[in-house]
Structure 1
Amino acid sequence: MALTPRLDLRQSQSLVMTPQLQQAIRLLALSNLEVEAFIAEEVEKNPLLESGSEGSDNGGDERGGAADDFPDDGATASDFDAEDFDLEPVTADQLMASGDAGADSPLDVDYDAETFHHDSAVDMPGPGDGGGGLDGGLGLSGIAGAGPEGGPDFDAMAAADLSLQDHLLAQAGEVLSGIDHLVATYLIDQIDAAGYLEGDITEIAARLGTDQAHVERVLAVIQSFEPTGVGARSLGECLALQAREADRYDPCMAVLLAHLDLLAAGKLVQLKRMCGVDDEDLADMIHELRGYDPKPGLKFGGERLAAVVPDLFVAPRGESWAIEINGATLPRLLVNRRYYLELSGNRRDRGSRAWLSECLASANWLVKALDQRQRTIMKVAAELVKQQQAFFTHGVAHLRPLTLKAVADAIGMHESTVSRVTSNKYLSCGRGLYELKYFFTSAIQAADGGDAVSAEAVKSQIKALIAAEHPKKILSDDTLVDLLRDKGFDIARRTVAKYREAMGIGSSVQRRRQKALQGKAA
């Protein structure tokens, strides 16, 4: 058979990830605050996009902001059909699959014909104002960082802007100079976030080309800085520095700090003999140690911790539940068509007109993608509330096992879409602030052969049983298994141990030692 060149015509199908499709997928996985930052970037790049308020009058089309396609009284979870959410025109999967950004057709909701009074529950008046949000009092009280009176808790939100290294360097510049200051700068750079010196003094001295005594002398100066205990090389040294500062570092305390492993093991009789003290003195020393800070450097930090802001509000309304998107974190997005007409009328060259058309198409697509994102989130949230209604009514003990596939099948979407919607998003309700992923838990078979229960419900029961145990009657894992079986949870001992360790709860031996130490220090 001869090898000759020839032309063939073949037909094939393939999935193309258009920029619009990638953008829609990315928006689903973003939280409200991340969407707000994304919108700000798009507004800077696209002259036809504006973020405005409800009362803006700039000739633009208002779309894609808060969940304004729902009634003022919020969406309820009593009826969960797609028709209740006006989702028939297009689904999230269909929107992503289309990838058509050129069409400039309005959405199915006429925003201009409706009057919206509230962006979210936080904008609504409280009970004292004769009105209410979803539950008349959710508002800021359901948001992390809110104060007891509903206002912002500035003490909780405040964080140190100055890093530990900067704080120490400022003190070193006041008392050290020359070679000592250079050594101190290097040592401070080796101090970790908790305030402990990393590395060996001998190796540090060799790197700096000086003797070990010189490094030790500079380190002693650093250990006199604030916070007390910084620059220590071990927990014992850190506590010893704080004991010296408090004038409590006597020979007995020195022996106790040199044998912290025995204190952790609860060998109090041996410690009393080694320190030469009685029960009262040892209890006083342990009480003193409990007042010290084992990680003094954590008081400082260069990064401000951001409070978690809920993306959704859920509150009871009659016999159902009201669901609302937190529109306070989502600016309304406007497409300024008047500006587009003005620019296109003054541009005769083909390149400028093509660029304007591209900007308009991109703006239209972004508005539609944001609008559909809100609808998809509401649809998934409504199904979550429906599936976990017992949790919202009775608490975590009634949390049902749930999978992404179960929610996806119920609302007619792909499992990956539900996974993206529930990522990085939080729900605020009367029971607290929860990540949407929290409501998806594995199933554990009930002991009586009934419906399976959620793993989170079992963890809650284990935590409650351990919290209620008597200091002189610590519950072993085997005892916990029997108690859980009496409550209807068929669970193995190894599973109890796994859940206990996942919650950061020690074994029965560790808890017995801890309660004994607490009794001594009390």
Structure 2
Amino acid sequence: MGLSAKLQLRQSQSLVMTPQLMQSIRLLQFTHIELERFIDEEIEKNPLLERPEPVSDEPEMDVRSSLSEAEAADTSIDQMFEVAETSVETLADQLDTSMENVFPDDPAADAVHAPDRPQLSSASTASAGESYNLEEMARAEITLFDHVTEQIAFSLRHPSDLMIAHELADALDEAGYMRASVEEVAERLGTDVEDVCAVLEVCQRFDPPGLFARDLAECLALQLRSKDRLDPAMQAMLANLDLLARRDFVQLRRLCGVDDDDLIDMLAEIRGLDPRPALVFTYGTADPIVPDIIVKPAADGSWSVELNPDALPRVLVNQTYFASVSTRAKSTAEKEFLAECMQSANWLTRSLDQRAKTILKVASEIVRQQDAFLLHGVRHLRPLNLRTVADAIGMHESTVSRVTANKYMMTSRGLFELRYFFSVAIASAEGGDAHSSEAVRDRIRALIDAETAAEILSDDAIVAILNQDGIDIARRTVAKYREAMNIPSSVQRRREKRARAAVG
């Protein structure tokens, strides 16, 4: 067979992932908070984008008048370039304000600036021309570092002890545990391990009890010591927390040397302790969950599915400003910059509109599929997968997956993530409709909650009851669902319920 060079023409179609297309796909996955941050970044880069003025009872200023004032100021295209290229860091330096001051994430930085928070500058107050209602202002939250630093100042005096204490405070995590060993601290500071242990013992007496513990047993022991309840029996129980986790009360009773009544009292004390004593302090503000979809009963008996206006981003393209500055654009670079800004602004508004329509379309189909759940509760939740919804609305399965990620729906039965409505199907024992795995979990939980000390259901007994209810399920599936709900085995439940019944 001879080899020869040939020229061939072929036609083919392919999908090219442009940067804007990739960004549009990303927009579908964004939560409300992430989307707002993204829009703020785009507004900072693009002078043609702006937020709409908030609606108020006061007469609004005419946008055209403000634009005319801007034209009168004879803003040049070069000045607009300078504004567009100014970075966040430059603006922060000009205002003498750092992002850490606005959104404190570092406990140490938060402690440094904390004393300045409650103070108001009289000059700034006078320039604002407004009277502040102090009751409406959010109080400065006390961080764990602030709280510990204050107690260090009152408890220690020697400079070396203060240095060690602050090093130990830096090693605290959000729960109040010390995540560095005394050997590491001693090596970093060039001091003796005995000195670090002595300072650590002082710090472990701080409020709230349990701070500076190195493990759970020590945390609980510190809290019991503050209540003068760390007796030998308690020490034995804390040394065998693994038995407590397995609910092996017979072995615990033997090791602690107590009877049933004393063991129940000790368990009650343990349950009253806080395994994370530092969580009462704040390390920053948590983002609230804003529902993207609101579902309400309609007058005709169906469901009204609407987008939450509070979750819809608001951004406008200032066409008037574009027309004003484009007439004064001289160089080719200036014209290209303006054209790119306008193209980017139009793309963003179209993408946001398409995102809203896609979310509403997917949510409406979910509501249609889960009508019985909205009417009667979790027992009537239907098994549902992404492909079913994608085929029903004519979209790709990956698009539905992105839309349902981190989106929430407010219904008459509460707030649910969209992913909650998708669950595995459990076959029906009678050949009827399949059952949702979430509904089966709820049924298992209800059966176990109804148990008594004399009648504890084994996994096999639960399988038999579910089969009678028309649910075809295997024993290992029941065990898997039970363990996922942190429900102990029948043997452990029998021990615990009998111990409680003996006390009662």
TM-score category (smaller protein): 0.7 to 0.9
Aligned mates of 2:192, 2:501 — CA distance in 1: 47
Q: Alpha-carbon deviation of 1:481?
A: 0.6
Is 1:169 the equivalent of 2:149?
yes
Q: Alpha-carbon deviation of 1:502?
A: 1.6
List aligned pairs for 1:199-238, cutoff 5 A: 200-201=181-182, 205=186, 208-238=189-219
* 1:40 match: 40
List aligned pairs for 1:228-377, cutoff 5 A: 228-264=209-245, 266=247, 268=249, 278-317=259-298, 318-377=300-359
Q: Alpha-carbon deviation of 1:517?
A: 5.2
CA deviations 1:19-49 (Å, max 9, x no partner) are 3212211111112332222222222222222
* 2:176 match: 195
* 1:383 match: 365
Cα distance change, pair 379–174 in 1 and its aligned pair in 2 (3 A): same
* 1:58 match: 63
Contact 2:264-2:500 at 8 Å conserved across structures: no
CA deviations 1:281-308 (Å, max 9, x no partner) are 4443333333222222333341322221
Which 4+ residue blocks in structure 1 deviate beyond 6 angstroms?
3-11
CA deviations 1:242-281 (Å, max 9, x no partner) are 2222233344444444454555555556655665655444
3-state DSSP of counterpart to 2:315: strand
Contact 2:452-2:497 at 8 Å conserved across structures: no
3-state DSSP of counterpart to 2:323: helix
Contact 1:51-1:333 at 8 Å conserved across structures: yes
CA deviations 1:45-75 (Å, max 9, x no partner) are 2222222158675369xxxxxxxxxxxxxxx
Structure with a larger share of its residues in helix: 2
Query: Percent sequence identity over matched residues?
Result: 55
Q: RCO (CA 8 Å, sep 6+): is it higher in 1 or 2?
A: 1
Q: Alpha-carbon deviation of 1:425?
A: 0.5
Cα distance change, pair 516–198 in 1 and its aligned pair in 2 (3 A): farther
3-state DSSP of counterpart to 1:480: helix
- Corresponding residue to 1:484 among 445, 449, 466: 466
Cα distance change, pair 26–336 in 1 and its aligned pair in 2 (3 A): same
Contact 1:462-1:500 at 8 Å conserved across structures: yes
Q: Alpha-carbon deviation of 1:198?
A: 3.9
Report the count of equivalent residues: 425
- Corresponding residue to 1:434 among 416, 424, 428: 416
- Corresponding residue to 1:445 among 422, 427, 430: 427
TM-score normalised over the length of structure 2: 0.75
Cα distance change, pair 282–432 in 1 and its aligned pair in 2 (3 A): same
Cα distance change, pair 184–470 in 1 and its aligned pair in 2 (3 A): same
Choose 36-45 or 197-206, whichever is displaced more. 197-206
* 1:134 match: none
3-state DSSP of counterpart to 1:52: coil
Aligned mates of 2:273, 2:143 — CA distance in 1: 21
Contact 1:444-1:454 at 8 Å conserved across structures: yes
Q: Alpha-carbon deviation of 1:515?
A: 3.4
3-state DSSP of counterpart to 2:443: helix
Choose 444-453 or 468-477, whichever is displaced more. 468-477
TM-score normalised over the length of structure 1: 0.73
CA deviations 1:337-372 (Å, max 9, x no partner) are 111111112223332222222222221121111111
Contact 1:405-1:415 at 8 Å conserved across structures: yes
Aligned mates of 2:278, 2:503 — CA distance in 1: 25
3-state DSSP of counterpart to 2:285: coil
Contact 2:161-2:199 at 8 Å conserved across structures: yes
**Amino acid paired to 1:392:** L
3-state DSSP of counterpart to 2:51: strand
- Corresponding residue to 1:182 among 159, 163, 166: 163
Contact 2:425-2:436 at 8 Å conserved across structures: yes
Contact 2:171-2:179 at 8 Å conserved across structures: yes
* 2:376 match: 394
Aligned mates of 1:208, 1:520 — CA distance in 2: 55
Taking only aligned residues, the RMSD between alpha carbons, in angstroms, comes to 3.3
CA deviations 1:170-213 (Å, max 9, x no partner) are 32233223222233233334444333334554565566554443
3-state DSSP of counterpart to 1:249: coil
**Amino acid paired to 1:42:** E
Is 1:470 the equivalent of 2:452?
yes
- Corresponding residue to 1:456 among 438, 442, 446: 438
Cα distance change, pair 518–357 in 1 and its aligned pair in 2 (3 A): farther
Aligned mates of 1:185, 1:245 — CA distance in 2: 23
